[in-house]
Amino acid sequence: FGKCGVAVIRVSGSASRSIINKKTRLKSFPEPRRAILTKIYHGETEEMIDRSLLLWFPGPQSFTGEDTIEFHVHGGTAIVSAMYDSLTTFPDTRIAEPGEFTRRAFYAGKMDLTEVEGLADLIHAETEAQRKQALRQANGLLSCFYNEMRTQLVQAIASIEAYIDFAEDQDVDDDVLNKAVQKIDTIIAQLKAHLNDNRRGERLRNGVRTVIVGAPNVGKSSLINMLSKRNVSIVTSIAGTTRDIVESHYDIGGYPVILADTAGLREGTEDVVESEGIARAREYVDCADLLLLVVDASRIAAVDGMDAYLSEYMEALGLKANMMSRTLIVLNKCDLLSSDAHQRLLERHNSFTCLSCQNQTGLPELLERIKARLEQLCGDPSVESPTISQERHRYHLKQCLACLERFLNYFHEADASNRDLAIVTHHLRNAVRCIGKITGTVETEEILDVIFSTFCIGK
């Protein structure tokens, strides 16, 4: 930790009341959730540490569900260290493990695992769109969606079991069974729609992998340097200067972008190192979410068929035609064109951005195009339904969907007189468990250890 104006030191647990009594000289115990200014003492000695704000949160109306204190002391290193040293002199009092406060809140039922993960993402959010997505998850929107689905499944299981137990007594008719199956059909449709999100939430959480590609010496390294406003890549007039993948992280329009400069793509090079760089560039292109294809404007201005030239250009670079849907075309070196040639380019096509890395013209237009494409890739987290932001969630949802489909396949394929619903209903129970693994209803210590380990100390 470093210096700051105010440092908040929290204490949670059964010894909180005695700690307040020993570390302050208050005549009466503080009112809950009301800040008071008081002198803070060591506790074992008469030495005063600081004069600060104190807040008292009696359990269960606290973040952890336990009695909790907050000391708002001045943020000097010596003051914080003195507070830690004095607090650890109390019996059974120790420094919290990473994520321990949140873990106690989880065990106290204050939040489920999706809200815990949303809180962790909120702490680590670096862009506005990430903040919005994490805040919605931390506030329980994703939790409500999964819990509603789980409730519907439990109701369907209850209806099927009622049919099994009482159908022979004619207290429950076939309509109950049919309605339960229809409910499962609806849940399957919801799950498929939820899973078919083009990984927008995960992409927004982890960053949009964007790669700058093109032939050697078209200005790829100049472009990444211009976007970062610093010399990320070496720029020379020698073809093949960039050999390895050079990554930088950016915030473009509130969206996180992992921008990669790559080796110029060409065939026939005899340089072993450059060949390896080209191979790595092709691998990166295959897994990238967005491609910025840089073209020398002076060359494209000299041809009549722009679309044909771009197709030949991509083919010469070894890029596949189906990559065009995730590609933005950047015509660099537009400063070398005459005004007439520049105008002719704009009249012939409007699906590209004219740019000059030399004099930095065209950059605002390029950023707007990138932002529009990022919004397509990640969506707008402030208006859309909660999306899947963790691979862990996606895995368990796929397992849940598989269980529900196995149940339905059996129900529709088996003869009505020979159906053994009592046995096949276990597929529905497994589906409920899969959702429980997402929200934390079904506890797995190994999963909890991984999730809470991402938190910082004191959270």
Has residue 223 been placed in a domain? yes
Q: Find the CATH number of the domain harbouring 320.
A: 3.40.50.300
Contact call for residues 6 and 14 (beta carbons, < 8 A): no
Has residue 120 been placed in a domain? no
b/e for 64-73, b at 16 or more Cβ within 10 A? bbbbbbbbbb
Closest CA to 350 of 298, 304, 306: 306
Residue 339 has what pLDDT?
75
For strand 290-296 and strand 255-261, is the pairing parallel, antiparallel, or unpaired?
unpaired
Has residue 342 been placed in a domain? yes
End-to-end CA distance of the chain: 14
Q: Find the CATH number of the domain harbouring 91.
A: 3.30.1360.120
Same domain, 346 and 219: yes
CA distance 251 to 247: 14
Residue 9 has what pLDDT?
95
Last residue of a domain, one of 378, 408, 437: 378
Closest CA to 296 of 336, 236, 240, 350: 336
Same domain, 367 and 433: no
Same domain, 358 and 275: yes
Has residue 396 been placed in a domain? yes
Last residue of a domain, one of 333, 358, 378: 378
Beta bridge partners of 255: 252
* Tokens 């992998």 -> residue: 209
CA distance 39 to 318: 71
Has residue 105 been placed in a domain? no
Same domain, 270 and 347: yes
Contact call for residues 80 and 1 (beta carbons, < 8 A): yes
Question: Which residues have CB under 8 Å from 259's CB, separation 6+?
Answer: 210, 211, 212, 224, 227, 228, 247, 248, 249, 250
Residue 413 has what pLDDT?
76
Average pLDDT per 10 consecutive residues for the chain, totaling 459 residues: 87 94 92 95 90 96 95 94 93 90 92 92 93 93 92 87 66 74 92 91 92 85 80 59 75 91 73 76 87 84 69 80 84 79 68 80 88 91 83 94 91 71 86 91 61 62
Last residue of a domain, one of 334, 359, 378: 378
Same domain, 412 and 349: no
* Tokens 């930790």 -> residue: 1
Has residue 58 been placed in a domain? yes
Q: Residue type for 364, please?
A: P
Q: Find the CATH number of the domain harbouring 408.
A: 1.20.120.430
Same domain, 193 and 209: no
Same domain, 160 and 229: no
Question: Which residues have CB under 8 Å from 65's CB, separation 6+?
Answer: 59, 104, 105, 107, 108, 109, 110
Question: Per this entry, what is the length of the chain?
Answer: 459
Residue 234 has what pLDDT?
58
Beta bridge partners of 38: 52
Same domain, 168 and 302: no
Number of domains composing the chain: 3
What pTM does this model have? 0.81
CA distance 403 to 229: 51
Same domain, 279 and 416: no
Closest CA to 7 of 102, 56, 80, 86: 80
Domain span at residue 285 reads: 203-378
Same domain, 38 and 84: yes
Same domain, 210 and 352: yes
Q: Judge residue 244's burial from the number of C-beta atoms within 10 Å of its C-beta, 0-12 exposed, 13-18 middle, 19 or more buried.
A: middle
Residue 382 has what pLDDT?
79
Same domain, 212 and 64: no
Has residue 112 been placed in a domain? no
* Tokens 């409007």 -> residue: 350
Has residue 212 been placed in a domain? yes
